[in-house]
Amino acid sequence: MHVEQQQQTVNNAKKADKKRRRCLAIIKSDCDVSPSDTPTVYLAILNVGLSNGLTEESLLEAAAQTGGSVSEVAMLTGKSYCFLVCCSLEDSQLVYTGMHNVSTIGQQGAVAYLSYVTALPTLAGKSEWNKPLPSGLIVLPDFVSDAEEATLLRSIAEDGRSYEGTLKHRHVKHFGYEFLYGSNNVDPTKPLEQSVPTACDFLWPRLESFSSSWDWSTPDQLTVNEYKPGHGIPPHVDTHSAFLDPILSLSLQSDVVMDFRRGEAQVQVKLPRRSLLIMSGEARYDWTHGIKPKHIDVVPTATGSLTTQARSKRTSLTFRRLRRGNCNCSYPTLCDSQQSTVPQELSTTLADQAVSLEQQNVHEVYDKIANHFSETRHSPWPQVAQFLDSFEPESVVLDVGCGNGKYLGCNAHILAIGCDRSQGLLAVGQQKGQNVFRCDCLNVPVRSSSIDGCISIAVIHHLASADRRLSALREMARVLRPGGRALVYVWAKEQRRNDRKSAYLRQNKAVNKERTTEQEQRQKQQHELEQRPQDHVSLPVHTNRTEFQQQDVLVPWKTKDEQRTTFLRYYHVFEEHELDKLVAQVPEVELTKSYYDQGNHCVIFKKIAICTARP
């Protein structure tokens, strides 16, 4: 042997040894499995597993070539290693010497490294697959034949419409009614020209055996999803108010794994090609379902261990029936109908408890989060700055609810004075040399008719009754001189306009990238809230960066410190024209302009008459 070759061999062995030690350290910390210096029947394949696409089949094939017999394969979800159990020590030694640094079963033909280990990890066998299915979930394998599959696919393609390319991770086509992804609903008044193809009619008699438990009739809506490898659908629940129970989904062309989640519970379900998935009851209403955008699925083998399966093109036919009304299911967490109905007693309770609610869920919270809140409030909103710039030099402008005073320095040519409830926020402004004082927006301690302009940005939506919100506007009207103008911003319930999301929703990156859905986030938060000992919460808790479901809500604020404490702020988010109507109730002003700006309703009003003394 040449010296160079010898050197090469030594280097290879060194490299393998280094790699082995690194892998063993990972396995040790992951699942507390230790290497063994002497042969055992347990072998770890150190650098190849489910996460790099290893199949049980190819692993067993490689082991068989060594002449050693294997009794068990243990593959772990998401891991780049796996385990073999051999029939005897001799078999184990054969497999070890035959495969270690020899077998090219790794990704792109990479060589595998093996090690004897003292035992199998205790995790093995406790896979996602041994869990019971969500209640109401049924998978009927071989629901259609190969020939029927072909017929269905043909009839869907026949209408000549192409798939819409609007969704990030899949192509869709609708029959009966269009599913509108903006509102996650259908418009029952606008049926499509293309109804559910009659070629699907043969499916329904097959479901008759289930018809006793369901109020069954033929589906009037079909959504066809075409998934290529790597495509997926974020976890969601089909909008309760849009569709009845159950929901049917036929898998064609290839298998896929679907994830079902509820709180922390997660169940994976394999949907074989030509099977029918039935989601009813709890599975339809309370579990989200989704498909991860992956190229390879991990699936159970006939013997109960795990292997991988490459995805290929899959078409799903989801059949649903329109509900045409409110949903009254027994699963309120994800029920849009029930989440958006306000209990009768709530507005009376709110009015009665307005003072204490604002104290606890507005004032106290702002004082606690003042510094962190202030850090997040630095850039002035352009249209507010524009309003401030519209004042003549030497005008006196009062910012009611000035917070950290970010608007007080906007226009250097005016005398800007700010007031706020929060001492913590005022201190930030005072440090910057701004003119501030502390008061409540319901009792502004300023001379009547003395001010040229007023702004109140994101303030009166913290007041817990319509009367109080009106009083705040009256105070602004009172302090304005005749001809003086005010700009008021409040948060809008509607966070989407002309199919465009507000800046607030646009910051929900996970939803925008279709990694998850608002429903999934709501479900998670609901779960979190249930976990923590909660002071009495009588109001629904909003999920940040999702659309509002109600007008009176508690909005969480998570601190950035290690504790990640969650504070709940009370908000009354405004319906369209609600603010205009409040302004109309203030006699001495007239509405100049009303507009929508990035998820806020905004008004500009002008004082018309000389204000008399306060009532």
- Encoded tokens for 13: 């062995």
Binding site residues, other proteins, CB under 8 A: 355, 393-394, 396, 398, 413, 415, 417, 419, 421, 423, 426-427, 430, 433, 435-440, 442-448, 450-452, 613-614
Least Å distance, CB 437 to other proteins, is 4
Structural contact between residues 48 and 112, judged by C-beta atoms closer than 8 angstroms: yes
User: Min. distance of Cβ 453 from other proteins in angstroms?
Assistant: 12
| Residue 153 or 354 with smaller CB distance to other proteins | 354
Shortest spacing between CB 535 and other proteins, in angstroms: 22
Nearer to other proteins, 452 or 547 (CB): 452
CB of 459 to other proteins, least distance (A): 15
What the block records as the tokens of 137 is: 């979930």
Q: Which is nearer to other proteins, 196 or 426 (CB)?
A: 426
Give the nearer residue to other proteins in terms of CB position, either 312 or 449.
449
HEC string of 349-383?
HHHHCHHHHHHHHHHHHHHHHHHHHHHCCCCCCHH
113-151 exposure pattern, b = at least 16 Cβ within 10 A, e = fewer: bbbbbeebbeebeebebeeeebebbebbeebbeeebbeb
Tell me the angle at which helices 423-431 and 364-375 cross, rounded to the nearest 10 degrees.
30
- At 490, is the secondary structure helix, strand, or coil? strand
Q: Which is nearer to other proteins, 20 or 468 (CB)?
A: 468
Query: In terms of DSSP bridges, do strands 314-320 and 221-227 run parallel, antiparallel, or are they unpaired?
Result: antiparallel
Computed on alpha carbons and rounded to an integer, the radius of gyration of the chain in Å comes to 32
Residue 384 in contact with residue 401, Cβ under 8 Å?
no
**Nearest distance from C-beta of residue 410 to other proteins, angstroms:** 17
- Nearer Cβ to other proteins (292/468): 468
Residue closer to other proteins, measured from CB, 3 or 613: 613
Smallest separation (angstroms) from other proteins to the CB of 439 = 4
Cα distance between residue 527 and residue 510, in whole Å: 19
**Among the listed residues 420, 451, 453, 450, the one whose alpha carbon sits nearest the alpha carbon of residue 434:** 420
Q: How far is the CB of 436 from other proteins (least distance, A)?
A: 6
Residues 6+ apart with CB under 8 A from 609: 482, 587, 588
Q: How far is the CB of 477 from other proteins (least distance, A)?
A: 15
Strand partners, 604: 487, 593
Q: Residue 307: beta bridge partners?
A: 299
* Nearer Cβ to other proteins (413/500): 413
